[in-house]
Amino acid sequence: MSKPIGIGLAGFGTVGAGVYKNLQRNGALLEQRIGRTFEVKKIAVRDLSKARDVQAPASLFTSNPDEILGDPSIQIVVELMGGIDLPLAFVKKAIAAGKIVVTGNKALLAEHGNEIFELAREKRVPVLYEAAVAGGIPIIKSVREAFVGNRFEAIHGILNGTSNYILSRMTGEGLDFAPVLAEAQKLGYAEADPALDINGWDAAHKAIILASLAYGFWIDPKDVLVEGIEKVTAADIRFAEELGYRIKLIASIKADESGAIEVRVVPTLIPKSHVLASVNGVFNAVAVKGDVVGEALFYGRGAGQDPTSSSVLGDLAEAAAFLESPRQSVGFTAHSLYGRSKPIDDTISKYYLRLGVEDRPGVLAQIAGTLAKADIGILSVIQPEGLVDGSVPLILTLHDAPFGPMKKTAQELASLPCVKGTPLLLHMETFQ
């Protein structure tokens, strides 16, 4: 029997503790399936005195991550610390030391993926990161391996369970954002500081990783349109329903005819008939469209101790295979088919526009005229009766238009004397 593979865990929070727990629980199963065993040699934590729900021998714990890096019996490091600066330094040192890296750190890869994988290629050390996107859903392995023979036409995903829970509750109960956020925090679905979940950046980090993997170059975060769900109201959800749509925080990743890549993560109206519209609660889903495979859907829990640690265990099995038979791949392969992000202002979409307007003749003509000057066509109009905060709601859906001119036109509309309050501009996705 081969010697156990030594593992160093950097971080013992929710996911790190889950990895340790499930290695103990299913270690024998892994041995039967892959022919190797794993042994956790060290666990690096910030606070040695902290009480922990999952128990491990005190002798394993250290407050110095360098003890993991300097231990020759540790062949794989599992980085689950959170944050960026400390994990970046740790991961770079691990690669330089020739240790395989498994990480679930989406922000780290989104911000520094190019740097990390350049070093990994130089040292011929794999960096594995299934747990960084969509929790227990095996989307990274599928994009990297199962669909390797496909050109990706589009990837659309619900990649944040907190936002999806909030929008699902708002849809089902007719509630506004604030009380549902408070409920999500009480239930543990949202953090005390929920900013990254509700402002779109948690999902955006995951979208950057998926887009970079699919298109062969690392997407710069500044080239990604990111908006949160904070401004969506119960009225918007009701109007969307009347139009035949649901509002979801959607990550949209597409290549145009020239090979330019657009990535956006924004609240989006999607047809109620589309499968993503029925993904509710804290669940995630990713719809992939390839030129060979056609359409494929992945669905499951996008966060949590067990789903995410399941992805880490899968990466550990892949790392074990690499130790038995080293190969060229280090977890990301750059290629030259693409290589350019489309400027955010050039991306094209249909739109939902909500305005509060004065209840008097000629208002609709003013608004239609402003849109016509920008060459933006109107698809439909809803104007319910009754005042809301002293104005009448006016809901327009608009033809395909570049985002830059559309945003500028929305600002011009906001400056009209007949328009009250701040307009809400949302994207619409028809999946065509």
Mean pLDDT of 293-304: 94
**Could you tell me if residue 94 is inside a domain?**
yes
Question: What confidence score (pLDDT) does residue 188 get?
Answer: 86
Q: Which residues neighbour 98 within 8 Å (Cβ) at sequence distance 6 or greater?
A: 123, 125
Mean pLDDT of 346-359: 95
- Same domain flag for 295 and 373: no
Mean pLDDT of 286-313: 95
pLDDT tens digits, 97-151? 999 999 999 999 999 999 999 999 999 999 999 999 999 999 999 999 999 999 9
Question: What confidence score (pLDDT) does residue 69 get?
Answer: 97
Burial of 417 (0-12, 13-18, 19+ CB in 10 A): exposed
**Could you tell me if residue 336 is inside a domain?**
no
- Same domain flag for 145 and 72: no
- Same domain flag for 159 and 288: yes
Query: What are phi and psi for residue 224, nearest 5 degrees?
Result: -110, 130
Q: Is the pLDDT of residue 1 over 60?
A: no
Mean pLDDT of 182-197: 89
Average pLDDT, rounded, for the chain? 95
- Same domain flag for 379 and 421: yes
Is 206 designated active site? yes
- Same domain flag for 389 and 246: no
Question: What confidence score (pLDDT) does residue 39 get?
Answer: 97
Query: At 189, is the pLDDT very low, low, confident or very high (cuts 50, 70, 90)?
Result: confident
**Could you tell me if residue 333 is inside a domain?**
no
Say which CATH number the domain at 78 has.
3.40.50.720
Three-point CA angle 242, 184, 166, nearest 5°: 20
d(CA 42, CA 59): 8
pLDDT tens digits, 382-413? 988 766 667 899 999 999 999 999 999 999 99
Q: Is the pLDDT of residue 330 over 90?
A: no
**Could you tell me if residue 69 is inside a domain?**
yes
- Same domain flag for 183 and 252: yes
**Could you tell me if residue 96 is inside a domain?**
yes
pLDDT tens digits, 257-270? 899 999 999 999 99
Higher pLDDT, 188 or 165: 165
Q: Is the pLDDT of residue 8 over 80?
A: yes
For residue 203, the number of C-alpha atoms closer than 13 Å in the C-beta half-sphere is 34
Q: Which domain holds residue 189?
A: 141-301
pLDDT tens digits, 9-37? 999 999 999 999 999 999 999 999 999 99
Q: Is the pLDDT of residue 221 over 80?
A: yes
- Same domain flag for 163 and 279: yes
Mean pLDDT of 183-206: 92
d(CA 394, CA 378): 12
**Could you tell me if residue 334 is inside a domain?**
no
Question: What confidence score (pLDDT) does residue 387 get?
Answer: 63
3-state helix, strand, coil in the chain (%, to 5): 40, 25, 35
Judged by DSSP in three states, 288 sits in strand
**End of a domain among 301, 332, 358?**
301
Question: What confidence score (pLDDT) does residue 159 get?
Answer: 97
d(CA 137, CA 135): 6
Question: What confidence score (pLDDT) does residue 389 get?
Answer: 67
Query: At 313, is the pLDDT very low, low, confident or very high (cuts 50, 70, 90)?
Result: very high
**Could you tell me if residue 128 is inside a domain?**
yes
String of DSSP letters for 339-401: -EEPPGGG-EEEEEEEEEE-SSTTHHHHHHHHHHHTT--EEEEE--SS-BTTBEEEEEEEEEE
Total domains, the chain: 3
What is the percent of the chain with per-residue pLDDT over 70, rounded to a whole number?
Answer: 99
**Could you tell me if residue 356 is inside a domain?**
yes
- Same domain flag for 382 and 267: no
What is the percent of the chain with per-residue pLDDT over 90, rounded to a whole number?
Answer: 88
Question: What confidence score (pLDDT) does residue 35 get?
Answer: 93
- Same domain flag for 246 and 274: yes
Candidate list 42, 99, 206, 254, residue with the active-site label = 206
Give pTM, 2 decimals: 0.95
The number of residues in the chain equals 432
pLDDT tens digits, 45-61? 999 989 898 999 999 99
Nearest to 18 by CA among 47, 40, 41, 50: 40
126 alpha-carbon distance from chain centroid: 22
**End of a domain among 248, 268, 301?**
301
- Same domain flag for 371 and 420: yes
